[in-house]
A and B are shown apart, each in its own frame.
Chain A
Amino acid sequence: MTLLCTSVDDAVSGIADGSTVLVGGFGTTGMPFELIYALIRQGARDLTVVSNNAGNGDTGLAALLAAGRVRKIMCSFPRQTDSWVFDELYRGGKIELEVVPQGNLAERMRAAGAGIGGFYTRTGAGTLLAEGKETREIDGRTYVLESPIAADVALISAHTADTLGNLVYRKTARNFNPVMATAATTTVVQVRHVVEPGELDPEAVVTPGIYVDRIVRVPS
């Protein structure tokens, strides 16, 4: 059952300390900014955050980091020209970092959402990021066993939802959002538009409503 929330604060209610939180977006594109600000107000701490980057500038995910709520971040590309919030926390030993190759990050969440207990991939074989991981030779090549990333909460963004939670996205703002929607116990989406069932083309739905728990409209 998908719940249409009247405020972003309602949409993030009940997120517990110590939760693993998936945060959609690639850089700032497709990032659910208003849900992140609501999470800062909500106050959950000691979070593990999974996102492609570790925040840009002082906004969005960077603001959550700056508020001291994140114990650990799992991401593919923390270091950017405008990642000064993360950089300072990391160099000060105040945040744990797990660097995950971008494709593994996506696939590990896909596995969690699809009930797959792990997968073998060539990505990272023979590198620092495969150290200590099980490997297997398949057709003469080395593959590394990667585990699923399941989360308590996903905070994502989409372009339009219907009230059943079916989602469509816009251009490259889609990025990690659909796969994150599948990998969390509770998926919360902020959208620019909400429409009635029947108004979205069923052939064009990217995230079926079964994956979506809470919707909140945030006009752009």
Chain B
Amino acid sequence: MSAVSPSVVEHTGRGPLGRDEMAQVLARDIPRGAYVNLGIGQPTTVGDHLSPESGVIFHTENGMLGMGPAATGDAIDPDLINAGKFPVTELPGAAYFHHADSFAMMRGGHLDLCVLGAYQVSASGDLANWHTGEPDAIPAVGGAMDLAVGAKQVFVLMSLFTRKGEPKLVSACTYPLTALRCVNRIYTDVAVFEITGGDQVLVRETWGISFDELRTRLDVPLAAATP
């Protein structure tokens, strides 16, 4: 039996993924039964693409395991919110705990996965997602630094380029760092990347752009991933 050779699945007959499709692609890769924390903003939408049959259990940093979908109508309870402070629901088997316990389970390496947004990710997996560093910016870190060092795996969900067209996967972050060498995968609108800790970032799949074109647009050494 011959070894599977590295290759990139290219979807060039279409445009980039929409925001919902990005969340769907990431959700597909979450292992069955994993304990998962979804960051505020777009990462929260990943939960919309996981069925109860996935067995995935959601952690919310404000003190709950077994968080259910967003609450609507009569199900809205001001005492039951997620990290983004939106009303949510409780699934059978849920557990509540206080903040020190919530972050102890995070830092203690008990969460399988967290999904975070980012301003920038470096080729070595450094993450910048809390502060633009601009003089009039008000910094706000929340639980991002604890999650980034604590979860067993960190997946980033972000667009690959800024509105100005600047890449957000970079050789070295210019924004203030959240944590060093913590990101394992990056799910973007045009490609999925794996950070291996080696010299090259691996590309698994692309949408609306070829692997060769991606290489010309990023200042980061890329190689095809092994499927």
Tell me what chain B mostly uses at the interface: helix, strand, loop, or mixed. loop
In the assembly, what is the distance between CA of A99 and CA of B150, in Å?
A: 19
Q: Scoring B residues 122 to 163 as 1 if CB is less than 8 Å from chain A, else 0, what string do you get?
A: 000000000100001011111111100110000000000000
Cβ contacts under 8 Å, B150 to chain A: 103, 122-123
Given contacts A106-B103, A127-B179, A177-B98, contact A27 B143 (CB under 8 A): no
A85-124 vs B, CB cutoff 8 Å, 1 = contact: the mask equals: 0010011000001011111111101100000000001111
Residues of B near A106 (CB, < 8 A) are 98-100, 102-103
Chain A: minimal CB distance from B128 (Å): 9
**Contacting pair A78 B177 (CB below 8 A):** no
Contact with A along B85-113 (1 / 0, CB 8 A): 10000100000111110111011000000
Of B96, B103, B141, B180, the contact of A174 (CB 8 Å cutoff):
B96
Instruction: Say yes or no: is A60 at the interface (Cβ < 8 Å to chain B).
Output: no
- Looking at the complex, which of B73-81, B192-200, B206-214 is the stretch in contact with chain A? B73-81
| CB–CB B180/A79 < 8 A | no
Total contacting residues, chain B, CB less than 8 A: 40
**Does A195 interact with chain B (Cβ within 8 Å)?**
no
Q: How far is the CA of A134 from the CA of B5 in the complex (A)?
A: 47
The answer to whether B138 touches A90 (Cβ under 8 A) is yes
Are B63 and A123 neighbours in the complex by a CB distance under 8 Å? Answer: no
Contact bitstring A170-194, B, C-beta under 8 A = 1, else 0: 1111111111000000000000000
CB distance from A111 to the nearest CB of B (A): 9
